[in-house]
Structure 1
Amino acid sequence: MKAFIEHESRGRLRVRMKQYRMTLEQADLLEAYLQNQPGVLNASVHERTCCAVIRYIGDRENIIRAIAQFNYTAPSVTALTPTHSGRALNREYQEKLVGKVITKFACTLFLPAPLQIARTIWLSLPFLGRGLKRLIHRELKVELLDALSIGVSMVRRDFSTAGSVMFLLDIGELLEEWTHKKSVDDLARCMSLNVKRVWLKTDDAEVLVPLSNIAVGDRILVRMGNVIPLDGEVVEGEVMVNQASLTGESMPVAKRPGTQVYAGTVIEEGDCVIEVTQSSGESRYDKIVSMIEQSEQLKSAAESHAANLADKLVPYTLIGSALSYALTRNVTRALSVLMVDFSCALKLAMPLAVLSAMREASMYHITVKGGKFLEAVAQADTIVFDKTGTLTHACPVVARVIPFGGRSEDDMLRVAACLEEHFPHSMANAVVRAARERNLAHEEMHSQVEYIVAHGISSMVENKKVVIGSAHFIFEDEKCTVPAGEQEKYDALPVEFSHLYLAIGGELAAVICIADPLRPEACDVMKALRALGIKRTVMLTGDSERTAAAIAAEVGVDDYRAEVLPEDKANFVEQERAAGHTVIMLGDGINDSPALSAANVGVAISDGAAIAREIADITIAAENLFELVALRRIAQGLMSRINSNYRFVIGFNGSLIGLGVAGVLAPATSAMMHNLSTLGISLRSMTNLIDSSETTRLLESK
């Protein structure tokens, strides 16, 4: 692709594609391509100007080379086509908004007065109809106030005021609908599946293949702890499936041969073979959108309070209008009260603020599943961290493989990788990656694999039982022994590493030493969180006391617990909540799931276990823990904005009512100022809550 650089600064490029016109589909493809390039932190494409803005780290020449090699028709590029894009949605509502504004001013300037009156009467019919419907059902809602304001204005032959009120209401509704749909769309796309490869079951083998290769009728194997990638029917095995992400059910559901399972749900117990009935990802996306739109439990308490308060204030506005007329016998003053109410701004601005905050969070790769979780993040005083994959580096590495019993390093690493690839976790990924780097092929040499939560993996290889996991699992649960004459070698295992033990036939076969470096930003994140009001930070880990103490001291947490099991993590979180603390739990593994559920807010790392991501209330990307700081700042900014919105709405609209009763403001002026203030506070609620440049700088620092 031919392009030229329009502007450049450190870590940022603005390039213009050498093409006359860019379609929405082309913009989506280019943006997806750039986002997938190594070193690219963020890329946005503007189809109207055919420009792309790229933020990156590393070698500039790599970015230039990637742009030069881009081709819309290349198979590697077309494979990146997003199933859903918010670009078309934005274009649709931009055109609607511009169309309404142009139509309003064109009619005002060019239509004769009689036609303007006729147009106003025609446009008022839907408003009057909704108000009449509320009156028939004896519901004192904001629609009734809108209808009265418009109706009384037209009775007084003040068609200009009636038209202005309707125009502002239309604009407000359009902006609310736009922001709501965009926020839901962004959120749904963030929550969509991130499964790239699946196990295809054939007559004689299990083969790991790209998800895009799966067709209707194929059979795939899904094991415990993994997300079900496609809709289908269980044909082998019995499993317990967590369907909370789609149905809201709190308890897992038993699935047996002949029953349906759905993409995005997670297997909590057992393994199964699924015959695919829906190869497209459309169904999953649509289900997520439906869930977000229908789930009232996701609303924040402040949002629900605003909606309820808006309707409760309607009778008082009507009473105030009637009382004003009774005291002054002045229709104009009574109408001034009717033209102003608290409901519009409260009912419009608060949901917009919450949805916009969720949208803003998604800009930092943070997926928030509901407004109430942002509220809890703002109120939290305690954060509990899992260690592995969260505080420590997201990508542990195999430092050494120490074989026992005369076995070879490569053979033991091959066996370990063969078992570990079935249950992706940070340490398991390290083993699989080490085998790949050594070019060790680890074909399926074992029988069915069983995962024991927080302990390890068990299987059979060449008629011998093979287990891999913690020392507790290997030596205490499985009663394995150290080969004769090698106890001294075992006692000399390097203490600076975490250890993964592999035993074959009841005898220790190898110890895999895992280096789990602390995230470079972890200490600074702790300081930033304390500056934002977090009073207590705690680290929970299954590692030994020695390893846990060293990491805790290095990262600077207030407290830590070592050698904990999944139920211990959940119990600790529950104890903290019982003591009156609002708790955030951050984790990434299957063993963190109980604690994520127990916390006020569960936060999962995006490349962690599927069940952790599904159970969690919020998901952050794995690249940088400063996203947790951004989340806290957005949440606090949201609560501050909501409170300031309350103060402004009550103060400003109360002043308008007072000035109207005193006869200082005419009804038309009151209506205009009220509607303009509602529009203004709604637009303000849609703006970003935090300084993006400062937050981006923190996220880019490592």
Structure 2
Amino acid sequence: MCRSIYLQTGISAALLLVGGVLRHLGHADIADRLWLLASAVVLTGALIDTFMAILRREIGLDVIALLSIGGAIALQEYFAGAVIALMYASGRTLEQYAENRARREMSALLGRAPRTANRYEATGLAQVSLEAIQPGDRILVRAGDIVPIDGQLLSDVAAVDESALTGESLPVSYAKGSMLASGIINAADAFDMLATRKAEDSTYSHIVHLVEKAQQSKAPVARLADRYAVLFIPLSLGIAGIAWLATGDAVRALAVIVVATPCPLILAVPVALFCAMSRCAQHGVLIKHGSAIEQMAQVKTLFFDKTGTLTGGKARLSGILAAPWVTQEEVLRLAASLEQMSSHAIAQAIVAAAHERGLELTIPTSVTEEPGAGLAGRVGNVSVAAGTRAYVSAQCEKPAWPADLMAQTGEEGNAAVCVAIDGKMSGLLQMADEVRLDTPRAMRLLRAAGIGRIVMLTGDRSDVADAIGGLLGVDKVMAQQTPASKQETIALARADGAVMMVGDGINDAPALAAANVGVAMGARGAAAAAESAQLVLLVDRLDRLASGVRICRKARAIAIQSAIAGMGLSVGAMLIAAFGYLPPVAGAILQEAIDVAVILNALRVLRLEKTSPAARLPHDEVRRLNAEHARLVPIIDRIRRLADRISALPPPAIAQELLWLNDALHEELLPHESSDERHVYPRVASLIGGDDPLASMSTAHREIFRLGRKVETLARNLLSDGQSETALHELRHLLYALEAILRLHFCQEEEMYHNLSA
């Protein structure tokens, strides 16, 4: 179809030009024949398009083009017919160009899909098809190559370009052991990786499959354009008929029909909506069906799944509680050493937390495991048990101290791993599925984008769901939901307007299919969820959904604006033509100008939500800043422990802790905050914009310095003048205050850095 449109335009332009030359040379008959041929070529194409539209049970807006070109031929206005034909064909060519441009980003995904991989074999390196790659194969990725399959990095470091999947323009570095997604590009030296999935199960293969389905979906023209076309076609024919009947001049009727062709509806609306699909794809939001754009633009109620959508979906160490006779670091070190022998997700999270804190782990011996309950074994010369309270309590004495803490942990939605050392209950590791860093920002942006009601649907317990829902400020929490009840809830909500559902798991698939707009977390969600949804988030960023909503709302507004403006201009031109002030040839040129104007207006969608790469914080810098925080967290933990135990410590131990505290403040914490204020904040402020966007964050720095100086002064006095109860009481309060503001400040900074890297 694309080639035929271009061919029609070329033939009609050539025949019109040659005919004009021959007419100037006095060969009027030959010129008329050439102009007739030009009209016939385009008329034939329009007839075919109209017939195909009728077979698809669609309104054929090309019917006006048929009448105008056919009318010009019938009235022997051959030159006018050729001009109308050229204007019509060139308009369709312009439409095709705009549509192709709008699809470019999605097509690029398909064009760059890798077909082969370099696999290490017994005889050396061999290039094999992707279908031959199996989990466990060792793969070489050369500089500039696309990572062909999901896998684990075996080399010490890799720098990759993730722009095709995430929009991040700068290379991102990964360390040995990191998981790499297929579809990213090696931006530095060659590296080795271990395949962990088959090609058909890889991230990029899944995305390509979704893109292919999106491109095969029906063009998003019918609903919005055809509603207006139902009125526009009779209006055009009515004005033409009245002009003919009132004056008896068929040329006037032809002029009216000409200025109504081609209608901006068949140009501006699809261009705007295809451009919206393009812009959303650049933000990591894949729209599988064009009709979802209009639905998404009208959504007022949004349903969220909890686990894996609002939260990270993985357990993380959120707190350590230790008995008086052991430190928190020792509890974590011994538990993590033992948990190295388990493949359970919580065990892996405990080991990861110990590595983050730089703890030296020991290989345990004599390990026994009760699946789902816990492990027991020896770490060095110490016997250790870790797991559920029932499992650990069966192997040691039962002190009273963990009981209240266990109840508190459950109320907060956390899981608890009890740790016994040498037969004594000695610690409690609090594990939580934490709220994603981008979730609060996503909630704020979605409400700002026009979402009026946000509901959390989850199969989790009511206490856990209420804790998360209250933290995020959702309008309603619906806990202990089954897949069937989720689907029923969505179906009932649709009676009040368009509904959007966001989820990631297999159990969310029925609800996603039931919603007007289902959104799947495609970056790490289940394939069933992505298949059931109309939208797929290709990047692991929930806040990108707000960008998609804004783009769809603005694109729909621009589409309607273009359609109404085009129709208004066409109606004005029709009235002028009806009164005899606009002949057919001039009308054809004027209508072409109207078409160009509305298409250019529709192409404004391509500029929506555009941000410069310079306006983002590089991912490597964010990781470095977060790593600095992770290095300082153990110091903050120790400040809290000192505050908890300072009254019970003997004077020599207090003196030792105070000396450590002075060193930690002078050498670690305060220099870090000072460096942030001098070096990091100016860069961040320039990205945010405004006169002083980080005033409140700088105020937190000043408060940290004030508390730090007070703690330092009081500690110095205690070391020199003796340890009075009043002074110790005052120091405890200062330590609690310093610990609280440091934790809050770190969380604020990490969310800010994360948002700026979006």
* TM-score bracket for this pair, using the shorter chain length: 0.5 to 0.7
State the SS of the aligned residue for 1:584. Answer: strand
Q: CA distance change for structure 1 residues 593 and 413 in 2, over 3 Å: closer, same or farther? A: farther
Show CA shifts across 1:337-361 (max 9, x none).
2213376322222222211111121
| 1:538 and 2:455 aligned | yes
Distance in 1 between residues matched to 2:202 and 2:332, nearest whole Å: 50
Distance in 2 between residues matched to 1:195 and 1:566, nearest whole Å: 37
| 1:173 and 2:92 aligned | yes
Match of 1:466 among 364, 367, 371: 371
Q: Which residue of 2 aligns with 1:325?
A: 244
What value does the CA root-mean-square deviation take over the aligned residues? 5.7
Q: Which residue of 1 aligns with 2:501?
A: 585
Q: Which residue of 2 aligns with 1:349?
A: 268
| 1:608 and 2:524 aligned | yes
Distance in 2 between residues matched to 1:690 and 1:363, nearest whole Å: 11
Alignment of 1:212-291 (within 5 A): 215-216=130-131, 291=213
Match of 1:483 among 389, 394, 419: 394
The alignment's TM-score, normalised by the length of structure 2, stands at: 0.54
Q: CA distance change for structure 1 residues 414 and 307 in 2, over 3 Å: closer, same or farther? A: farther
Q: Which residue of 1 aligns with 2:41?
A: 126
Q: Which residue of 1 aligns with 2:223?
A: 304
User: Retained in 2: the 8 A contact 1:186–1:359?
Assistant: yes
Distance in 1 between residues matched to 2:532 and 2:333, nearest whole Å: 41
Q: Which residue of 2 aligns with 1:632?
A: 549
Q: Which residue of 1 aligns with 2:64?
A: 145
State the SS of the aligned residue for 1:586. Answer: strand
Show CA shifts across 1:515-541 (max 9, x none).
554445544543443343322122344
In terms of fraction of residues, the more strand-rich structure is 1
The alignment's TM-score, normalised by the length of structure 1, stands at: 0.57
State the SS of the aligned residue for 1:344. Answer: coil
Distance in 1 between residues matched to 2:392 and 2:200, nearest whole Å: 48
Distance in 1 between residues matched to 2:530 and 2:456, nearest whole Å: 20
Distance in 2 between residues matched to 1:480 and 1:524, nearest whole Å: 40
State the SS of the aligned residue for 2:264. Answer: helix
Name the aligned partner's letter for residue 274 of structure 2: L
Distance in 2 between residues matched to 1:627 and 1:646, nearest whole Å: 28
Name the aligned partner's letter for residue 618 of structure 1: L
Aligned-residue offset at 1:363: 2.2
Distance in 1 between residues matched to 2:434 and 2:50, nearest whole Å: 66
State the SS of the aligned residue for 1:603. Answer: strand
State the SS of the aligned residue for 1:687. Answer: helix
Match of 1:560 among 477, 480, 497: 477
Structure showing greater radius of gyration is: 2
Show CA shifts across 1:58-114 (max 9, x none).
xxxxxxxxxxxxxxxxxxxxxxxxxxxxxxxxxx99xx89x9799879959995546
Distance in 2 between residues matched to 1:147 and 1:358, nearest whole Å: 31
User: Retained in 2: the 8 A contact 1:541–1:562?
Assistant: yes
| 1:375 and 2:290 aligned | no
Name the aligned partner's letter for residue 344 of structure 1: C
Q: CA distance change for structure 1 residues 284 and 150 in 2, over 3 Å: closer, same or farther? A: farther
State the SS of the aligned residue for 1:398. Answer: strand
Distance in 2 between residues matched to 1:194 and 1:133, nearest whole Å: 35
Show CA shifts across 1:120-153 (max 9, x none).
4443332132356689999794445324433544
Distance in 2 between residues matched to 1:674 and 1:468, nearest whole Å: 76
Distance in 1 between residues matched to 2:522 and 2:453, nearest whole Å: 24
Name the aligned partner's letter for residue 603 of structure 1: V
| 1:409 and 2:335 aligned | yes
Q: Which residue of 1 aligns with 2:593?
A: 676
Aligned-residue offset at 1:648: 2.2
State the SS of the aligned residue for 1:651. Answer: helix
Q: CA distance change for structure 1 residues 432 and 187 in 2, over 3 Å: closer, same or farther? A: farther
Aligned-residue offset at 1:277: 10
Aligned-residue offset at 1:672: 1.9
Aligned-residue offset at 1:630: 1.7
Show CA shifts across 1:11-57 (max 9, x none).
xxxxxxxxxxxxxxxxxxxxxxxxxxxxxxxxxxxxxxxxxxxxxxx
State the SS of the aligned residue for 1:514. Answer: strand
Distance in 2 between residues matched to 1:357 and 1:375, nearest whole Å: 10
User: Retained in 1: the 8 A contact 2:305–2:502?
Assistant: yes
Aligned-residue offset at 1:379: 1.8
Aligned-residue offset at 1:601: 1.6
User: Retained in 2: the 8 A contact 1:384–1:537?
Assistant: yes
Instruction: List alignment gaps of at least 5 residues for structure 1.
Output: 1-91, 203-211, 222-228, 231-262, 265-273, 421-426, 442-461
Distance in 1 between residues matched to 2:115 and 2:50, nearest whole Å: 55
Show CA shifts across 1:259-289 (max 9, x none).
xxxx99xxxxxxxxx9989999999888656
| 1:366 and 2:277 aligned | no
Q: CA distance change for structure 1 residues 606 and 687 in 2, over 3 Å: closer, same or farther? A: same
Instruction: List alignment gaps of at least 5 residues for structure 2.
Output: 122-126, 137-147, 150-181, 184-195, 323-330, 362-366, 375-386, 420-424, 617-686, 689-754
